[in-house]
Amino acid sequence: MIRHLITLMWNRKRANGLLIVEIFLAFVVLFSVGSVGVYTWRNYQTPLGFDYQDVWEIDLNPGTQPRAEQFGTLQRILQRLRSTPGIVSVSRSVSNTPFAFSENSTTLDTGEGTPQGYGDVYDADAELPEVMGLRIVAGRWFDRRDDAVSRRPPVVITELMQRALFPDGQSAIGKTVRASLGKPEEFQVIGVSGPYRAGGELSEPRPGFFLYVSPQDTARAMQVLLVRVRPGAGAALEKRITNDVRAINASWEMGVNPLPTQRLAQLKVNLAPPVILGMVCIFLIVNVALGLFGVLWLNISRRRGEIGVRRAMGATAGNISLQVLGEILVLTTFGLGLGLLVAAQFPLLGVMGVQTGVYLTAMLLAAGLLYLLATVCALYPSRLAAGIQPAVALREE
């Protein structure tokens, strides 16, 4: 019977050509949007690795203060903040704080021709794990011991970076890694941390590593602070620290951004494209479904004679019903086949550098959805076809 349907549909491929093209396009749309959706969802499901509640990001702008005096002022500001009730801990950072739409990335390796790990590079001081709730998996975080200038400065890498650099599973602790960040180029791994996805929930999870900012560092991490506050701290604390900073030096400007607010702002921007795509996709698919339904319905009335003959030849109402359903499923398969040829190019050519699994999931989802759609669209027309009175249908022509 299936062979019969395939033969029938194959012979009708010209008449059904437009329908097949439509199903093909619908598949391509579903696949594309599905890929975006699956990619976004997978990223969203991956742990951030830090706790953003009750953390504020503070931007400092020294204004016209001469550069030489700026470090002293920063020291005083840090001191004041740390002694302010309501503030739990303070960490010096650079612009790529969580949810900041700012990233800083480079490649790490362990020598010539060895595995590489490309990912985010963060400047961090000893307080960062306390402020952000960052997990240490192996080894240790930066502390006083690292203040001494050494030939190979310390580095803490994330688990993903450990996996990228040492695929054989050996521990990274104590190993020397290289980065092209200017001098010095060699670093010694002192610890491995959990993930730290400052890019936010929707960013691609990727390796990362931390470079040490000592309390005496006068070059880096001068203008951004991450501050953990006590739960419930609000405008009063914000106003107070703004005034404190101004009291220390009037030319300094500061801005306070709670991370939960930053996160929402970033989500709004990052979710807009997939949500808009999703809505357009839903409209297109509803459109295709209505069209499919309409065409099937019209085809039933066109094929009353054929249905009558089939009934006369011994087909039951159920056979007719199944045939209508089977036909559209065969057509869907034709369209899908074409669509899969296109879709397969994405993982094969490695377009966009997204994991193959994402594409495969999207293909499965799109195919499943289309079959479901075709079935739903065929239900009513198939019942209609089954209900045709053969005696009446045969007499019509």
End-to-end CA distance of the chain: 27
Going by the DSSP 8-state scheme, the letter that residue 157 receives in this structure is: E
CA dihedral (6, 9, 14, 18) in degrees, to 10, reads: -110
The smaller minimum CB distance to other proteins, of residues 211 and 378, is found at 378
Q: Where are the extended beta strands (E) located within 33-171?
A: 55-61, 87-93, 105-109, 116-124, 136-139, 154-158
273: left (phi over 0), alpha (psi -120 to 50) or beta: alpha
The smaller minimum CB distance to other proteins, of residues 43 and 299, is found at 299
20: which 2 tokens?
């097949």
Contact segment (CB under 8 A) with other proteins among 125-133, 211-219, 221-229, 284-292 equals 284-292
Nearest distance, CB of residue 19 and other proteins, angstroms: 6
Using an 8 Å Cβ cutoff, are 49 and 195 in contact? yes
Under the binding rule (CB under 8 A), the answer on residue 397 touching other proteins is: yes
Burial 18-40 (b: 16+ CB within 10 A, else e): ebbebbbebbbbbbbbbbbbbbb
> Which listed residue (230, 283, 344, 356) binds other proteins by CB under 8 A?
283
Nearest distance, CB of residue 48 and other proteins, angstroms: 24
3: which 2 tokens?
């062979």
> Which listed residue (136, 264, 298, 376) binds other proteins by CB under 8 A?
298
CA of 158: how far to CAs of 141, 205, 253, 316, in Å?
11, 11, 34, 65
> Which listed residue (239, 341, 348, 376) binds other proteins by CB under 8 A?
239
Under the binding rule (CB under 8 A), the answer on residue 178 touching other proteins is: no
Nearest distance, CB of residue 260 and other proteins, angstroms: 14
Under the binding rule (CB under 8 A), the answer on residue 94 touching other proteins is: no
Quote the Cα angle for 141-142-148, to 5°: 150
Using an 8 Å Cβ cutoff, are 376 and 325 in contact? no
Counted residue by residue, the chain has a size of 397
> Which listed residue (136, 264, 312, 348) binds other proteins by CB under 8 A?
312
Q: For residue 196, which of 146, 246, 124, 268 has the smallest C-alpha distance?
A: 124
Query: Would you give the binding string for other proteins spanning residues 38-77, x where CB under 8 A is met?
Result: -----------------------x-xx-------------
Nearest distance, CB of residue 343 and other proteins, angstroms: 16
Strand partners, 118: 107
Contact segment (CB under 8 A) with other proteins among 47-55, 208-216, 223-231, 246-254 equals 246-254
Q: Number of residues interacting with other proteins: please give it, by CB under 8 A.
A: 68
Under the binding rule (CB under 8 A), the answer on residue 151 touching other proteins is: no
> Which listed residue (6, 81, 267, 317) binds other proteins by CB under 8 A?
317
Under the binding rule (CB under 8 A), the answer on residue 308 touching other proteins is: yes
Strand partners, 212: 124
The smaller minimum CB distance to other proteins, of residues 53 and 61, is found at 61
Contact segment (CB under 8 A) with other proteins among 91-99, 187-195, 253-261, 333-341 equals 253-261
State the pairing for strand pair 116-124/176-179: unpaired
The smaller minimum CB distance to other proteins, of residues 190 and 377, is found at 377
14: which 2 tokens?
């010209």
Nearest distance, CB of residue 306 and other proteins, angstroms: 5
SS3 state at 205: coil
Q: For residue 370, which of 28, 64, 15, 77 has the smallest C-alpha distance?
A: 28
CA of 317: how far to CAs of 62, 118, 298, 306, 310, in Å?
83, 62, 19, 13, 10
> Which listed residue (311, 328, 330, 347) binds other proteins by CB under 8 A?
311
> Which listed residue (262, 299, 332, 333) binds other proteins by CB under 8 A?
299
Going by the DSSP 8-state scheme, the letter that residue 313 receives in this structure is: T
Under the binding rule (CB under 8 A), the answer on residue 248 touching other proteins is: no
Under the binding rule (CB under 8 A), the answer on residue 373 touching other proteins is: no
**Which residues here bind other proteins, judged by CB under 8 A?**
1, 3-4, 7-8, 11-12, 15, 18-19, 21-22, 25-26, 29, 61, 63-64, 234-236, 238-239, 242-243, 246, 251, 253, 255-256, 268, 272, 280, 283-284, 286-288, 290-291, 293-295, 297-299, 301-302, 305-306, 308-319, 389-391, 394-395, 397
